[in-house]
Amino acid sequence: MGNSNLHIWLQASRPLTLTAAIIPVIAGVALARADTGVTRWPLFWLALLGAIFIQIGTNLVNDAKDFQRGADTADRLGPQRVTQAGLLSAASVMRGSWISFAFATLCGIPLVIAGGMPIAVIGITSVIAAYAYTGGPYPLGYHGFGELFVILFFGLVAVGGTYYLQADSYSADAFVAGLAVGCLSSVLLAVNNLRDESGDRVIGKKTLVVRYGRRFGIVEIAALSLLPFALGLYWWIKGFPVAALLPLLSLPLALVIIRRAVNDSGVALNRVLKLAAALHASYGVLLSLGLWMSTA
C-alpha cells in the first residue's frame, strides 16, 4: 500500500517535466562559468533542488485546479492526472503542493543569504506565479498567458537568477540564454494546448490556440522551436563558437516537431510532447556544454 501510494505521488509530480526546472539551472551555471571562470557548487545544488520543488509544486497545483475547473475529465487526451482519476483528492494534492513549495523555500533561504534581495524577490514571485498559473481568481493559463509565464519563469528568471547567484551580476548573456531555454520549455505547453484545443474551447479555457486558432498554434510552435537556434548567432559574435554550434545538433528534432504539429492532432500529439521534452533537454545540455567549454 505504501509503495502504491508512493507511485501515485510520483505520477502526480510528473517526473518527465522536471527537465523544465533542471535545464535552466544548468545553463545558468555554465554561462556564469564561461563569463567568470568560477562555479559555486553549493549554490548550484541548492538552486537546483529549489527549482525542482517549485516545478513539482506547480504540477500538483495544476493537477488539482484543472480537475476542479473541469479541464480534466474522463475524455482527457493527455496522460492520466491523479485527481481526475480519483487516485488522490484535490485537497490532498494541494497539500502536497504546499509541502513542495515549503521545501523550495527552505532551499531558498541560503540562496537569499548569498544573493540578497533580488533572489528573495525571484523566489517569492516564482512561488506566487506557480500557484497563479492555474489557481486563484485569474488563472494565467486560462487567459492566454501560459506561454509568457513559461518563458519568463522557466527561462529568463530561472537562468538569470542562477547566473546572478554565481556571478553576482546580471548580463545580456543571461537574457539570451534564458530566452532560448524558455522558448523551448514553452514549446511543450504550446503542443499541449494544440492537442487540447477542442476541450479547452468547451470549458472556456482561453489559451492562445483557442483565441486565435489551430494555424496560429502551429506557427507559434514553429517560432518557439526555431528562435533558440537563431540566437546562436549571439554566441558566435560574442566569441563562444562552440556554444553557437553544438546546439545545432538538436535542430533536426525541432524540424520533426514542426512537421508533426502540422500533420498530427488529438492523442497523436502526445508523441510530439515527448519530442518537445527531448528537444528542450538536448538543446539545453548542448548549450550548457558549449558554454562550459568556453570558460573565461
Give the pLDDT confidence of 171-203 residue by residue, as tens digits: 999 999 999 999 999 999 999 999 999 999 998
Model confidence at 68, pLDDT cuts 50, 70, 90, reads confident
Mean pLDDT, residues 68-83 taken together: 78
Model confidence at 136, pLDDT cuts 50, 70, 90, reads confident
pLDDT at 61 over 50: yes
pLDDT at 272 over 50: yes
pLDDT at residue number 70: 76
Q: What is the mean pLDDT of the chain?
A: 94
Mean pLDDT, residues 38-65 taken together: 96
pLDDT at residue number 296: 60
Residue with cell 487567459: 143
pLDDT at residue number 87: 94
pLDDT at residue number 75: 66
Question: How far from chain centre, in Å, is Cα 47?
Answer: 15
pLDDT at 1 over 50: no
